[in-house]
Structure 1
Amino acid sequence: MTQIEHFEVIIIGGSYAGLSAGMALGRSLRKVLIIDGGKPCNWQTPHSHNFLTQDGSTPKEITEIAKDQVAKYDTVRFYEGLAIGSKKVDNGFDITTNRGDTFHTNKLILATGIKDLMPKTDGFSECWGITVVHCPYCHGYEIRNQKTAIMANGDTAIHLASLVKNLTKDITILTEGKSSLDGQQLQKLINHEIKIIEKEISAIEHEAGKLKNIRFKDGAVEAFDAAYASIPFESNTIIPNELGCQFTEQGYIEVDEMGKTTVDGVFACGDCSTMMRSLATAVYKGNIAGVFINHELTQESF
């Protein structure tokens, strides 16, 4: 029988949150395995912003620096592959991968991120993260003072419009069908000279991800420089479901302030556990998860 290699902590996901947790644990000499498939959700984004000391760097550059720094801690190992299964066993968890390997761990960190579910609109996915974006804090400064669309309806449209209004005066809300905005919301838009188009979108015309026009199903075309969109997402893995983790109404793994899930021994950090989707938040949450897992391990053995 093949002996299963044991780790004190396995981190599933080796992007910003996972690497941050790995550093905190490596500095406490914990035996850690970071499992990562190398496909972060922001791979198409040209530059990262609003992260102190790395403003304007590419996501790849930041990841490479982080991974090099974490790799200096001898007790941390990296595994290239996908975690595809999990099982609660005595004194921890068994994790299986797509390469046929199984590892045992006392504690588990889920830093798996999320998968954006792109609409079938032609050109949308090619522009996502470049000129069709999700967050004014991450991207708004770079597309300031440009003719901007907000592809949303109802409360989401109003929320985005309130944030974007300080970045550009030329805003149009595209409700992609009949507006669900109420009278008070419509009056706010009128007061701020924000236009509404209630037509369905058929395509986004672009050049290498740079938005040029939005084409509607009735044949009309409107020129835009940039757009915000709020799109659904799903988990990148079934492992939290397998282990019985609870989820929030929005679809994130439920965690407390320390990153603990509703399953003993399982923590979560990064985009899979919070709607605050940014590099800075991921690094912070990963650090917290790493620190408190080390605290648990210390209390259990001291």
Structure 2
Amino acid sequence: MAGNKNFDTIIIGGSYAGLSAAMALGRALRNVLIIDSGLPCNRQTPYSHNFITQDGEKPSVIAEKAKTQVLNYNTVKFHHGLAVSGKKTDNGFAITTHSDEEFKAKKLIFATGVKDIMPTINGFAECWGISLIHCPYCHGYEVKNERTGILANGNFAFHYAQLIRNWTKDLTIFTNGKSLLTPEQTDKITKHNIPIIEKEIAYLKHEKGKVEQIVFKDNSTFGLRAIYSRPDFEQHCKIPETLGCELTEQGLLKVDMFQKTTVANVFACGDNASPMRSIAYATATGNITGSIVNGTMAEEEFH
């Protein structure tokens, strides 16, 4: 990227949270650089829901429209690349990309999301975001009243059983091995006629990501249309940790109500700092972050 290498703010991550933060800062006449590698975590999801005015739209279409609108503000620049390292400087921070380009800014915003760690079940990754879903608010209406599975164990399985029963009564829990549900949880689940199957899973039979059957290691099968699951995750970007940003027990970036991390002048928004994984929430936190960053700069300049 030729030209200016110094900015008021660098935003790492150019999906919904990052673009939303950039719009707020662009409208505040701040010089902003967005660095994005072009690999959002929901890239396999065919449609987005529960985001007012965009219900049923493709996530990529929403993101592209947002990017076009944000770049209408001429103080906002976009760099396609992967940020690989960061360091503190006398006047702020320096970020280096995979192509060894270095950019500097007074403030950093991380809108980098998280990376889902796929379990070692063949077919899981291919179905993820399509028919193997994590959020009933985002996708539950589209599979309402369908034969549905919960691929989880322990407290996650119990939480899903409570929640998803509102969308479908044809519900089965698959623990993929010995159940870790407590006797009390098991009693409540059984009371609501939700079977618990403890067989180990061999693979998921699917057609282009649309699940058809769970195939167990004993060669028995179970037909269904949708599965809820919540795989483990890790931070998509490790730079905040190298700068000293603390993580929560859940592995999220620790932020206060103003999206400030534990390192001065470093902010975070979207999925990397919240368990509420939705486009609407990411967009909202990005907007807040952009406003807070501008307000912080305005206070520092007004002395």
Q: Distance in 2 between matches of 1:210 and 1:3?
A: 46
RMSD: 1.1
Q: Distance in 2 between matches of 1:108 and 1:245?
A: 12
Structure 1 residue 120, shift from structure 2 partner = 1.7
Q: Which residue of 2 aligns with 1:25?
A: 25
Structure 1 residue 241, shift from structure 2 partner = 1.2
Structure 1 residue 5, shift from structure 2 partner = 1.8
Q: Deviations over 1:245-267 (max 9, x none)?
A: 00000000000011000000000
Letter in 1 for 2:55: D
Q: Which stretches of structure 1, 4 residues or longer, exceed 2 Å deviation after superposition?
A: none
Q: Which residue of 1 aligns with 2:172?
A: 172
Secondary structure of 2:267's aligned partner: strand
Q: Which residue of 1 aligns with 2:282?
A: 282
Q: Which residue of 1 aligns with 2:152?
A: 152
Q: How does 1:48-197 map to 2 (within 5 A)?
A: 48-197=48-197
Q: Distance in 1 between matches of 2:258 and 2:241?
A: 20
Q: Distance in 1 between matches of 2:122 and 2:247?
A: 32
Contact in 2 for aligned 1:4/1:102 (Cα 8 Å): no
Structure 1 residue 3, shift from structure 2 partner = 9.9
Contact in 2 for aligned 1:4/1:104 (Cα 8 Å): no
Unaligned runs of 5+ in 1: none
Secondary structure of 2:234's aligned partner: strand
Determine what percentage of the aligned residue pairs are the same residue.
55
Letter in 2 for 1:41: C
Secondary structure of 1:86's aligned partner: strand
Q: Distance in 1 between matches of 2:4 and 2:91?
A: 14
Structure 1 residue 282, shift from structure 2 partner = 0.2
Count of matched residue positions in the alignment of Structure 1 and Structure 2: 301
Q: Deviations over 1:269-296 (max 9, x none)?
A: 0000000000010000001110000011
Q: Distance in 2 between matches of 1:181 and 1:96?
A: 46
Q: Deviations over 1:101-159 (max 9, x none)?
A: 00110000000011110112111111000000011111111111110110001111010
Q: Distance in 2 between matches of 1:22 and 1:137?
A: 27
Q: Distance in 1 between matches of 2:49 and 2:3?
A: 45
Q: Distance in 2 between matches of 1:180 and 1:101?
A: 49
Q: Which residue of 2 aligns with 1:273?
A: 273
Q: Deviations over 1:65-98 (max 9, x none)?
A: 1001101101000000011010001120000001
Q: Which residue of 2 aligns with 1:257?
A: 257
Unaligned runs of 5+ in 2: none
Q: Distance in 2 between matches of 1:89 and 1:20?
A: 26
Q: Which residue of 2 aligns with 1:225?
A: 225
Q: Deviations over 1:185-218 (max 9, x none)?
A: 1111121110010011110000111110000111
Q: Distance in 2 between matches of 1:166 and 1:238?
A: 38
Q: Which moved more, 1:277-286 or 1:174-183?
A: 174-183
- TM-score normalised by the chain length of structure 2: 0.98
Secondary structure of 1:11's aligned partner: strand
